[in-house]
């Protein structure tokens, strides 16, 4: 069975400082990995995803995540955060259920609080 | 705007009652997913439909049921409501049900059970 662990429930960071949000996963099959972001009072939206190919994936707003198979990790990083990055970030792993359909398991989320 | 719509936005009801939450997926998406988000349990997958057929079940209680209609909109029915059912309920849609498909989330329905 697949699972996702986000060890940090909250991460406070000063504006313009770097940040890393940690995600570890377990899965019995080759993995597809996602980071979703939830801004206050909104639904989740995809930030970036790893399906195959380059282990480093980037989003349009400066975040990047690196798939590390040996460490079963998919940490999210940004070199310089902005106030507008304040949100909750969810790591997720995708598997296939017995019917051949996607089953996505989400982590418990990490609240990023950017301090002015 | 994800293109996924959910109604109502807020719902306040009493214990023992029954409510229906509605979701319209993005145009062209065949899969619909339902999630429950609460402070104590985080984001929990409830159920998935693909083109009208149930495809996956998560932590969905027997008091809850869902369906996807021929026009692809979906409804989540919650009955015999308890205080603990108070939560945000999200609907998401994707093109199909394949691995790697991005899920597009609606704005959610906030259910308060008094």
Q: What is the CA radius of gyration of chain A?
A: 14
What confidence score (pLDDT) does residue B23 get? 98
- Cβ atoms of A48 and A57 within 8 Å: the answer is yes
What confidence score (pLDDT) does residue B94 get? 94
Q: What is the CA radius of gyration of chain B?
A: 13
- Cβ atoms of B79 and B60 within 8 Å: the answer is no
Helix, coil or strand: residue A70: coil
Asked if B102 lies within 8 A of A43 by C-beta distance, the reply is no
Region B89-108: what's the mean pLDDT? 90
Query: By the CB < 8 Å criterion, does B97 face chain A?
Result: yes
- Cβ atoms of A83 and A73 within 8 Å: the answer is no
Q: How many CB pairs under 8 A join A and B?
A: 67
**Matching residue, tokens 């597809």:** A32
Other CB atoms within 10 A of residue A60 CB: 7
Query: By the CB < 8 Å criterion, does A51 face chain B?
Result: yes
Query: By the CB < 8 Å criterion, does B101 face chain A?
Result: yes
What secondary structure does DSSP assign to B4-45, as a single string?
Answer: -EEE-SEEEE-TT--EEEEEEPPTT--EEEEEEEETTTEEEE
For residue range B20-49, what is the model confidence (pLDDT) as tens digits?
Answer: 999 999 999 999 999 999 988 888 999 999
CB-CB neighbors (< 8 A) of A90 in chain B: 43
Asked if A94 lies within 8 A of B2 by C-beta distance, the reply is no
For residue range A66-101, what is the model confidence (pLDDT) as tens digits?
Answer: 999 999 999 999 999 999 999 999 999 987 766 667
Distances (CA, A) of B21 to A21, B47, B85, B87, B100: 33, 14, 13, 12, 27
- Residue A107, token pair as written in the block: 């982590």
Region B91-108: what's the mean pLDDT? 90
Please give the residue that has the higher pLDDT: either B77 or B102: B77
Out of A36, A102, A107, the one facing B98 most closely (by C-beta) is A102
CB-CB neighbors (< 8 A) of A105 in chain B: 45
- Residue A84, token pair as written in the block: 């507008």
Task: Choose from A103, A106, A107, A109 for mutation: most chain B CBs within 10 A.
Answer: A103
Please give the residue that has the higher pLDDT: either A90 or B98: A90
How remote is the C-alpha of B40 from its chain's centroid? Answer: 18
Query: By the CB < 8 Å criterion, does A28 face chain B?
Result: no
Sign of CA dihedral A49, A52, A58, A59: negative
Asked if A43 lies within 8 A of B90 by C-beta distance, the reply is yes
Q: Which of A28-37, A68-77, B4-13, B84-93 has the lowest mean pLDDT?
A: A28-37
Query: Distance between CA atoms of A74 and A41, rounded to whole angstroms?
Result: 26
**Matching residue, tokens 């989540």:** B76
Query: Distance between CA atoms of B8 and A90, rounded to whole angstroms?
Result: 25
């Amino acid at each position: 069975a697949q699972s996702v662990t986000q060890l940090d429930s909250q991460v406070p960071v000063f504006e313009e400082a770097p940040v890393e949000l940690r995600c570890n996963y377990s899965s019995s099959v080759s993995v597809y990995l996602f980071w979703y972001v939830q801004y206050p009072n909104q639904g989740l939206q995809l930030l970036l995803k790893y399906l195959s190919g380059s282990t480093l994936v980037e989003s349009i707003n400066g975040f990047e995540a690196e798939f590390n198979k040996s460490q079963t990790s998919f940490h999210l990083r940004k070199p310089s955060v902005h106030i507008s990055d304040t949100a909750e970030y969810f790591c997720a792993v995708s598997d296939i259920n017995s019917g051949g359909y996607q089953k996505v398991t989400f982590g418990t989320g990490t609240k990023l609080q950017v301090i002015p | 705007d994800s293109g996924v719509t959910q109604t109502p936005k807020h719902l306040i009801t009493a214990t023992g009652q029954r409510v229906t939450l509605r979701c319209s997926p993005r145009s062209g998406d065949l899969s619909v997913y339902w999630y429950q988000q609460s402070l104590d349990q985080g984001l929990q997958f409830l159920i998935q439909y693909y083109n009208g057929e149930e495809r996956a079940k998560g932590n969905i209680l027997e008091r809850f049921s869902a369906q996807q209609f021929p026009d692809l909109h979906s409804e989540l029915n919650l009955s015999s409501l308890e205080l603990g059912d108070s939560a945000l309920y999200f609907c998401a849609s994707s093109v199909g049900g394949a691995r790697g498909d991005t899920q597009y989330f609606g704005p959610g329905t906030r259910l308060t059970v008094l």
